[in-house]
Amino acid sequence: MTSYYPPITYRVPPSEDGWLLKTILQKRMDVSRKLLSRLKMTDLGITLNGERVYISVKVSSGDQVQIRMEEETSEDILPQAIPFEILYEDGHLLVVNKAAGIIVHPTNGHYTETLANGVVHYWAEKGERVRFRPVHRLDQETSGVLVIAKNPYSHQHISEQMIAGTVDKRYAAFVHGVPAVPSGDIDGPIDRDPLEPHRRIVTPDGYPSLTRYEVKEVYPRAASRVELKLESGRTHQIRVHMSSIGCPLIGDGMYRHPLYARGQAAGGLVPLGGGEREAGLVLPGGESKEAELSPVEAAQLAEIAELDASIPRQALHAVRLSFRHPVTHADLVFEAPLPPDMALLQAKLRETAARE
């Protein structure tokens, strides 16, 4: 016997008397063509006043239109008891505060210890049959608010809001340097680095990408806290954009401060993220070239390296997410305070500021 999620209901108002059921489903309930096709294949997928009907019938004022989606599970995801923080949950959504260091979804070579494994286990313990559907992603080392849809309808609606630009995604970051102006837009197309495909770069031939930023706090020794708003969702977008304006994220081992590329004298090592890594200039073809730094640059690099070593990942946190609920249409706002490692970094920067 087919099991369904609770129905989503629409009551036909007098102004829509005589409309086709198909029109109600597409124009008022915003059911996508793909989902509509799936609903038509099940006995209770689409009902009018409790009865299964063709979508070509006309509706009357006061009629009750309901859609029901089949229950699903993520059979390819191994349930694991991995703790995570829940900010909100109902029959349609799960909003979590993702910890740094955890991957959202299993990938090749990394099938366990992900947020998906933990969420699937959590739902199984509750007796819920739900497929894991993250509406968006956060990098492994980025923490903060993440929304997961519990059915295809919710996933479709929030995804459409993101495409329309009505989802407000805000991030907090600590960066090296201070942007030239207190607030502004970084409008730079992003694509893969042809020399290192796992990296992204700003390039004229890339995909349109826009990040809005505002400086919230400035610290001595050229560091600042910024708030960022994403208007697009490219991989590594914030990290690439901030690096492109000379303000890379503190602790970011991939998009580092340009002084690292110049390196220290022959064989010099610069501490970063708790370990030592070579700081030679890497040229196309993999050759390295020593690049001496002036005393001023050497002192600056030492301060940069000290800050990078004070946090084991890029200092980036999804602090706020707001969107419209796909079913109730209520405006939802979710916030997550700075995690302990970023709070400690902020305290260190403020302590340094107080001494100077």
pLDDT at 282: 37
Strand segments, DSSP code E, in 205-296 are: 210-219, 223-230, 269-272, 275-278, 281-282, 288-289
- Counting every residue written for the chain, the total comes to 356
Return the active site residues. 139
pLDDT in tens, 260-270: 877 644 345 44
pLDDT in tens, 203-218: 999 999 999 999 999 9
> What secondary structure letter does DSSP report for 157?
H
pLDDT in tens, 108-163: 888 999 999 999 999 999 999 999 999 999 999 999 999 999 999 999 999 999 99
Cβ within 8 Å of residue 314, ≥6 positions away: 139, 141, 142, 173, 239, 249, 250, 251, 252, 253, 254, 255
CA Rg value for the chain: 25
- Distance separating alpha carbons of residues 168 and 41, to the nearest angstrom: 36
Percent of the chain with pLDDT over 90: 81
Dihedral through CA 112, CA 114, CA 120, CA 123, nearest 10?
Answer: 140
pLDDT in tens, 293-351: 788 888 888 889 999 999 999 999 999 999 999 999 999 999 999 999 999 999 999 98
| Mean pLDDT in residue range 238-267 | 85
Residue 167 has pLDDT above 80, yes or no: yes
Tell me if 199 sits within 8 A of 209, measured CB to CB.
no
SS3 of residue 92 by DSSP: coil
Higher pLDDT, 261 or 83: 83
pLDDT at 323: 97
- Distance separating alpha carbons of residues 20 and 92, to the nearest angstrom: 27
pLDDT at 291: 55
pTM: 0.87
pLDDT at 51: 96
Contacts 24+ apart (CB under 8 A), 74-80: 74/116, 74/120, 74/131, 74/132, 76/106, 77/106, 77/116, 77/117, 77/120, 77/132, 78/111, 78/112, 78/117, 78/120, 79/117, 79/120, 79/121, 79/124, 80/112, 80/113, 80/117, 80/118, 80/120, 80/121
- Distance separating alpha carbons of residues 345 and 342, to the nearest angstrom: 5
Residue 250 has pLDDT above 60, yes or no: yes
Cβ within 8 Å of residue 89, ≥6 positions away: 95
| Mean pLDDT in residue range 34-53 | 95
